[in-house]
A = this chain, B = another copy of it.
């Protein structure tokens, strides 16, 4: 299971008590932070996300509402005595900025810090239970989306059946992976007779800031949950595309064309005091849409 907690759902200017972009993706074993707008560490305090549990941080792009809170979080982690590894993924220049900020403060991060510049699409994290891939999206500056895929769940061995067919324990590993068994007498015993399926691996795609872009459809095809920005209502489509942002209707169109299970929209412009219209506009195109609300956790 994946749990996505929204820490900031607004676009550039904090307003109406909405904060710039940040969200946490948690599994039983991992806590990942995606983007880190100003005030993210205070939002983590508010919503009981422990800084110490975050092992990987992904920064989609270097517009301030997606990373101005990062240096504060990184230095606080140090002041709080962190020793464990931290992996940071983002555009190359992010490292230059962080290094400069540490240098002028005569400071360093007193833990095991690894920066990984995003350069090509593909797998960037491969943990026992989860894989993270990055993919390019279209924004005014270099910008990346992230796809979280649970590792394929192993098939469950049925104890009575393996006894009945006399399967040696040395073959159990293969059974977990779905292999059929061939006995000494050359009989084929189908894996389905010996094991049962478990729930399919869950997927979550985060599309960061992006103009309406049908090349995304393939990248997020049939994910369980798609986060897509929806900065404006569709009446402002021209403004949206000029700024390399999407409208609510466009986000829903991508969700619908990609056949995803559920859509989560966010990155709302600070011109909107309330968000009801976003839900109505998106749902008309793609019914299973939810608004990203700060403090709420969406389970996949």
Q: Is A272 an interface residue (CB 8 A)?
A: no
* A4 vs B73: C-alpha distance when bound (angstroms): 28
Asked if residues B19 and A42 are in contact (CB atoms below 8 Å), the reply is yes
* Minimum CB–CB distance for A273 against chain B, Å: 13
Q: How far is the CB of A89 from chain B (nearest CB, A)?
A: 16
Q: State how many angstroms separate the Cβ of A76 from the closest Cβ of chain B.
A: 5
CA distance A291 to B105 in the complex (A): 27
User: B-facing mask of A31-42, CB < 8 A → 1, else 0?
Assistant: 000000011011
B80 touches A45 (CB 8 A): no
Decide if A197 is an interface residue (CB 8 Å cutoff).
no
Distance of A45 Cα from B10 Cα, bound (Å): 15
Task: State the copy count for this chain.
Answer: 2
Interface assignment of A101: CB less than 8 Å from any CB of chain B: yes
A79-B13 in contact (CB<8A): yes
The answer on a CB contact under 8 Å between A96 and B106 is no
Q: How far is the CB of A177 from chain B (nearest CB, A)?
A: 45
Shortest CB distance A105–B (Å): 5
Q: With an 8 A cutoff between CB atoms, is A63 at the interface?
A: yes
Q: In angstroms, how far is the closest chain B Cβ from the Cβ of A230?
A: 18
A140 within 8 A of B: yes
Partner of A41, one of B38, B80, B107: B38
A39 touches which one: B39, B65, B93, B94 (CB < 8 A)?
A: B39
Measured CB to CB, the nearest residue on chain B to A12 is B79
* Residue A297 at the chain B interface, CB threshold 8 Å: no
A191 contact set on B, CB distance < 8 A: none
Can you pick out 29 interface pairs between chain A and chain B where the beta carbons lie within 8 Å of each other? A12-B75, A12-B79, A13-B76, A13-B79, A13-B80, A14-B41, A14-B42, A15-B45, A19-B42, A20-B72, A38-B39, A38-B41, A38-B42, A38-B68, A38-B69, A39-B39, A39-B42, A62-B101, A62-B104, A63-B107, A64-B72, A64-B105, A93-B100, A94-B104, A97-B97, A97-B101, A97-B104, A106-B140, A106-B141
